[in-house]
Structure formats: C-alpha cells, structure tokens
Amino acid sequence: MDLSVPRRNTRRPSKNLFTFHRQTEAETLESSRAAEIFQTTLQVLKRKARQIHTRDVMRSDILSCTAILWTHSIHIFVRQNPLWGASNTPLVRWLPAEYEDGEREPKGWNRGLLYNGYQLPQPRDVSKRILRSTSKPEDEDYSSLLVEWGQYIDHDMTFTPQSTGSAYFLSIDELSCFPPTFSNINTGKQDCKPFFRSLAACFVNFRSDIRVTLQRQQMNSITSFMDASQVYGHSPKLERNLRDLSGCNGKLAVNKQVKDVNGRAYLPYVSTLPSSCLQHPDGERVECFSAGDSRVNEGLPLTILHTLWLREHNRIAAALKHINDHWSPETIYQETRKIVGALHQIITMRDYIPKIIGTESFEHYIGPYGGYDPTTDPSASNVFATAAFRFAHATITPIIRRLNESFQEHEHFPSLKLQNTFFSPWIIVKGGGIEPILRGVIGTAARTVTPDKLLTEEVTERLVVLNVPKQMDLASLNLQRGRDHALPGYNDWRAFCGLTSINTLDDFTKVMRVSRIAKRILKLYKHLDNIDVWLGGLVESFLPGSRTGPLFACLIGKQMKALRDGDRFWWEAEGIFSQQEKVELLKGSLSRIICDNSNIKEVLADSFRFRKYPSGYIPCEHIPSMNFEAWREKKSPGMFQTLSHVVLALRHIGLSLSSNEPLQLL
C-alpha cells in the first residue's frame, strides 16, 4: 500500500537537513508511532474515498457507524479517568485546534492561505523585528533564581518530544519537518532554521466529538503532576536506573567518578559513553549528567538545581533511616520521595507562582485549597506548555555570573556568556563546583520584560542545541511550535479568559503601553486576530505585583489550580501527611535546600528575592529546618502504608488512579 500523503503545499524540505531531537524514551516513541500510523491510515482512506466519491471526505465519514460506536464505548471498560495527568498522553485543549485542513496541517503550512485576508508573518521575521533585544533591564525585586526555578519546575510538568524526521514512523510523514523560513540578509536567498514537528499522540478522551478525536494531538511524555519527576524519572526503567539499589539505603545513585572539593555528590553520568556534551579542550572528559529529565544538561543553573535535589533526597533518606532503622530501603525511598515531591509543590505554589501572576490573580484563579476534586483534569494544557509558561524565555540572562563567597566576581572562575555554557557540565566539575554559579543566580537580579526589550540575542541568534549544525532562534521556535500545535490566536485566548477583545490599535496600545511596538506588531500581522498567542501574552503590560500580563496570569493560574485540585497525592490532600508532618513541611524552603546541600553559608530568607550582598543575607543557621522526628514510627509500616507507597509509585511512573478506586489495579 502506498502510504505517502499528498499535501497542498509544494515545498519538500529534506528530512536530512537537520538532526534535532532531545532524548525520547522507547515507550514514548512507540506510543507516537501508533498515533502516526492511525493518522496516516486515515489520510490514505480519505484520499481513496475522495477518488471514489469525487468529493472532499471528512475523516469521520470514513469510519463506519459501528466503528464510531465501538470507539465511544471503550470508556465503559476503563476506570474513571485513569489517564488524566499520565505520561505519554495528549496535552489537553482548552480551545479547539485550528489546523489549516481542520485535521493536521499547521498554521502557516500553506503560504497561499490567508488569515483575515492576510498571510501570517514568518516567525523569524517576528523574532528579528519585534522580539530580539540587545539589552535587558534588571528586575529590582527578584533574583535570577526565580527564572531558573521556572525552567526547572516546567520540566516537572511538561515535555513535548519532537519528531526526528526519520523513517521510524511508518507514515514517513512529509509534514514532520516545518522549518521557519526567512530571507537571508547576506545572500538574499530563502533560508530556514531547524524545526521538526512535535510527535503525535493518540487521543484518549473517547467521549469527545469524533472529529476532535481524529485531529492530530501533541504528547506530554512525562506526568503532568508536580511530582518531582525530573528528580526520579517518569518510567519504571528510568526510575530504577536512578536509584542506588545496591546500597540498600533508599538513596539515589551518585557519580562514582567525581565529587566536589568538599566531598559532596554530583549527578551520575549517563550510561552511554562517550556522551555528546561539550568538553574543555585541555581537560579530562566530563560526561553528560543523568537525572529524571533528559534536559538536565541544557544549562548550568538547571544542572545545579538538579544536583541540589539529588543531594537533598539522599540527605533526607539518611535522616529517615537514622530515625526509623526498622524501615526497609523501599519505605525509606518512597517516604523520602513523598517529602521531596511535597517540597516541590510548596516552593512552587507558595513562593514562586504568586510572584509570577500576582497575589490578586492567585486568589482569583487558584484560591485556597479545598481538597482533592476527582472531576478536575490535572493534565497539562497545550496552551500552557506551548505558550503561557514560556513567558520566562524573555527573562533569560545573557551572562552566567560566577561569584565568590562575598558575592563578587570570582577570582578564578570568570562569568560566562550564555552561548558558551549550553551542554557543558565540565564547567561545574572543573570550575569550583556548584557554588560559584549558585551564588550567581542568587546574587544577580533577574532580567525583566518590557515590550521593547524581550528576548536576549543569546537565545535568538546564538542558541546552541546538541546535534544541530546551526545556531537556533528560541523566539522563532516558540512561534513555530504554537503554529505546529494549531493554537488559536491571541484574541481567542483573551476571550477564553473573559478579557476584553483587542479590536483596534488603541486597544492594543492600552494593553501594551508602548505604542510604537503595538504599531510594529500590527504592521507585521496586518490583523489583530492573527497575532500568535505567545507573542500577544508576552507583550502585555504586567499586572500589579506580577511578572505577567492578564492573559498569561489567567492561563498559568488555571493550569496551576488544575494541577493542584486534580492531584489526589497533593501534599495537603487528606491522608497524605499527618498534621505534624505538614507543619514541618511548611518550614521547607529553597534557601534551606541550598544551605543543606552546598557550601554556601549566607542566604536570603527567600532566595527568589534580590538584594545586593550583604543586605538582608542571614547565616544558614537562622533559616528554619524541618524536624524529621515528625516521621518517627515505633513499628514497621502497616499494610495500608505499604499499599499507599505502591499507588504513589504507580502514579509517579505515569499512571493516574481515580480516588474512587485507588487500589483496585493492584
């Protein structure tokens, strides 16, 4: 059977132009393969039906009534919402997808297709004319650690894998490559940046409209829950590989080749050697680090946060073992993982999110915790993963600062340009450990966003990605990703959030408060309804006390509420922790994590805040610590606790269980 798929567009970019992918696990690829086969089969059947009936046939027409009824009946045999929040399931859609063919062609695929009478501008043109910035103002209130935590916690909730463009997929999908083209100012010819589409996912909500079910969906390959999956992994194989099973102590595995000068642990190296991470030209090899998320080596601050949490797990595990020497290694591991997961939730929802969306938006969209709600879907939404939570890309600093114990420029390890730090863990091992960079993100002000100063050139002109021969443009990638995912436009999302529509240039100027940029955007897009949601949300003026405008505050707030209320293992949920344990957990902070797992002796009480050293810095002994006596147990854990650990482990590796039947799959 001929499985090639015709398309309206005549462009045929070679699949061999680029090699651009992050590490994607076999289970994810297999799941996506099924979705690709399904999509391709429907395309072939549609083409055959069109030839027979000499008319355009919707894919839903192809399926017989019997097949449709069978599809809709599947949910009868499935427990209540077991896949909500699970790994390798689709990102949920809060608004319908807007594919150019209604099914899978991304926005901008057919250059002749007009939107409100105009072509969509090329992402690279938008990047160069609107988004690129040569300078960034400093944030007077917050440190660079706030920015780094945003990336770190995002990697706990979303990971959208991309096609490799290879023939792995039976469809050999010509739509897999979708490079943003632009005019090269040096040659005058059309050029393009590397880009492959997000992997397809099989739709799992069979009670939806059948036409929606048959549309291309994008995958979240990790659990949506805020469960520290970037520490522990999201699959049984990965989780097992990250544990120190031979030690019988409930700890995570550490690097056996290198330690820091104080004997503290580093993350273990990846198993496949030599790894692809960059190396110092004159030193011994330092391989890529391994963690629960494959993106751990993308940037030095991200690697450092992973290192802190590896050490924190092992520190807590040792404390629990000391208090409860009758506990098995499995009990120690599971109880420690519960604590670490709770700390991720507390730091994010108490210390991070209110600073991002503002306290008023937090109260409006999230509000106080009212307990687990089994009707709330905690799955990550497409617009959150692809647009709203990418707001922080505009706050990335162009310089990675390395500071000494007095929070001044380090005498031996100078600050680095961002472009020279990607995928370079050797800088940590050979450059004084995690402390110089950690002091840098604590003791340096974050970069703030204004409509005329958005993304630094370090990420729009010099972004480095492993295995990609060209330097990348993060702004173009974000815009193109939104079109790949068929996200509706900026105005549609404002309507979704109950915000007023932007109908005129004056309306847009009021939202942005920078008229020349509003005019420049309208000149590019021609029509306000054509503006990409990521750009529109990014240029909105901040709400009071926030670092986002009203649209992103709404989308982030709604997502965070869903993640909290739809998680039956949320730290505040009934039966997860005792009241005494909750009191101790609330003492946890990122500042305390830093004190306990590094050689830094002075911090701010809230390390997301920025103050010039030594103003506001206090000795670590003045930072509250958890008392693990709250976890002391006089006898071995009973059957209920053991089963609870198993259920939590199942959720952690990608299976969400309904609270109505929490143990029936055991």
Helices 329-346 and 300-323: crossing angle, nearest 10°? 130
Residue 89 main-chain phi, psi, to 5 deg: -125, 165
Interatomic CA distance for residues 539 and 514, integer angstroms: 9
Interatomic CA distance for residues 45 and 62, integer angstroms: 7
280 is catalytic: no
Interatomic CA distance for residues 464 and 330, integer angstroms: 40
Which candidate in 21, 155, 234, 306 is catalytic? 155
| Binding residue ranges | 393
Query: No. of H helices and E strands in the chain?
Result: 25, 13
Interatomic CA distance for residues 655 and 648, integer angstroms: 9
Locate 210 and state its tokens: 């059948």
How far is the CA of 375 from the CAs of 251, 370, 371, in angstroms? 35, 13, 12
- Closest-CA residue to 162 (of 195, 192, 193): 195
Q: Are 68 and 180 in contact (CB under 8 A)?
A: no
In 432-589, alpha helices (H): 435-442, 457-460, 474-484, 490-496, 505-512, 515-525, 533-539, 550-565, 579-585
Residue the block writes with tokens 């989780």: 239
Interatomic CA distance for residues 200 and 104, integer angstroms: 10
Q: Are 222 and 229 in contact (CB under 8 A)?
A: yes
Rg (CA), the chain: 25
Q: How far apart are the first and last CA of the chain?
A: 43
**E strands present in 10-134:** 89-90, 132-133
- Closest-CA residue to 59 (of 39, 36, 33, 79): 39
| Binding residue ranges for heme b | 393
User: Vertex 516, ends 514 and 518: CA angle to 5°?
Assistant: 70
Q: Are 446 and 146 in contact (CB under 8 A)?
A: yes
Locate 644 and state its tokens: 């609870």
Longest CA–CA separation in the chain, Å: 78
Helix (H) or strand (E) holding 319, with range, is: helix 300-323
3-state secondary structure of 325: coil
Pairing of strands 190-192, 181-183: antiparallel
Residue the block writes with tokens 């309507």: 495
Which residues are designated catalytic?
A: 155
